[in-house]
Amino acid sequence: MVGIAFLIPRIGSDYEKSRSIFDVAFSGKWGDFFEWPAMLCSVRIFFLGCGICLFLTAFEEFIFAYRKKTLTINFILILILVLILVVCLSVFFLIKGLF
């Protein structure tokens, strides 16, 4: 998933002005319909967040295998919060890029 996030091609002149995918996604303006660079960056943010969540899930399973239940419960809560934050952020940027 993280590899997919970095393999999505860069398009538009916004990449020349900024350095990160968050800058391009955040610089999208309301009212500019189908702003492709902002939309692609929001998709990249989504894939990057999903990749991080998959890594955290694997790490949580590793912790669970060693019977550290208190760490596992805390890690699951952090994982859920990270996933909710990434999905909300990427959906917001995608809607902002579309409309």
Domain boundaries, the chain: 2-98
- Could you read off the pLDDT tens digit of each residue along the chain, which spans 99 residues? 777 767 776 665 555 666 677 777 777 777 777 788 888 888 888 888 888 888 878 877 887 777 767 777 777 788 888 888 888 988 898 888 887
Q: What was the pLDDT predicted at 11?
A: 66
Phi/psi for 34 (5° steps) reads 50, 60
- How high is the pLDDT of residue 14? 53
Is the separation of the CB atoms in 97 and 44 below 8 Å? no
In this predicted structure, what is the pLDDT of residue 22?
Answer: 77
Residue 12: the pLDDT is 59
Non-local CB neighbours of 42 within 8 Å, separated by 6+ positions: 25, 90, 91, 92, 93, 94, 96, 97
Select from 49, 53, 37 the least CA-distant residue to 94: 37
Q: How far apart are the first and last CA of the chain?
A: 26
